[in-house]
Amino acid sequence: MAILESRTKTGISWISESIALLKQAPRKSLLIALAYLAIFVFIPSIPGLQLFALLTIVIWPVFIAIAIRMYRNLEVQKTENISTIMQLMQPKMKNLLLLGLLTLVYFIGVSLLFSSDAQVLAEILNRQTQMSEQEMATAMQTMMPILLKLMLLFTPLIIAVWFAPMLIAFNGYGVIKSLKSSVAGAIQYMVALTAAWLLLSGAVVTLMLIASVIVGLFSFMQPAIAQTLMSFFLFGCFLISVALTLAFQYVSYRDIFRAAPSA
């Protein structure tokens, strides 16, 4: 594991490098992000494809390993097609899928613990358009502890799998060792990772606020297209945020473990 200054400026540097990496090949980066959204967000949300949503959790580590390899290739200006990358990943595929399966088991466990709270959230969301301001304020007071509980339940999973796919695919770690090392790396560089996450989240929120202002101006002039324009801007913000997050995942892995894939 690398020895870095685990301070705020390290996290800021990671985001700066992530932006530079995105600017280096914006089209390819956004295509990777678009594939991520399609596989893990859009398709599973289609009615009748709930079973596929569970499958996406299993294949998530495989996608991340491929995506990170592609970001590494962008940085070193190396060209590899998907079939070549898949062939390189083949010996590690079993462990990557096992990591995905363990992630699915954890997800199902949390979902079972969260089932009653999920029903409360669903009822609030279904009734939100009919609520008065006072009812909405009460609903927010109900939702905040539930969302905090959800965040606390999933934070250990995020920490455990943040570096794990790359450690399996590029460092040759086993599943358990990759999870332990991911947790150790995240804890050791918690300050830098937190600073980077806050900066990244702030940038995304700022983009959304700018989009809202632009749409607000259009709503006065062209109300008919304002909603469509807002959807377009929001999609663009999500696309950029996913691309930056994947770049940040690569940069932080590269610096902490000093083991960017070279094969």
Q: Which residues contact 2 (CB under 8 A, 6 or more apart)?
A: 255, 256, 257, 258
| Distinct helix (H) and strand (E) counts, the chain | 10, 0
Output the pLDDT for position 260. Answer: 44
Evaluate whether 32 touches 243 at the Cβ level (below 8 Å): yes
- Following DSSP, what letter does each residue of 4-18 receive, concatenated? ---SHHHHHHHHHHH
pLDDT in tens, 156-199: 999 999 999 999 999 999 999 999 999 999 999 999 999 999 99
- Is this model's pTM higher than 0.85 or not? no
Distance CA 112, CA 249 (A): 29
Q: Where are the beta strands (DSSP E) in 48-185?
A: none
Q: Are 97 and 59 in contact (CB under 8 A)?
A: yes
pLDDT tens across 45-72, in order?
A: 787 777 788 889 999 999 999 999 999 9
Average pLDDT score, the chain: 83
Mean pLDDT is highest, among 15-19, 72-76, 140-144, for 15-19
- Asked whether the beta carbons of 165 and 65 are under 8 A apart, the reply is yes
* 23 against 49, higher pLDDT: 23
Give the model confidence (pLDDT) of 209-258 as tens digits.
877 777 666 666 666 666 677 777 778 888 999 999 999 999 999 999 97
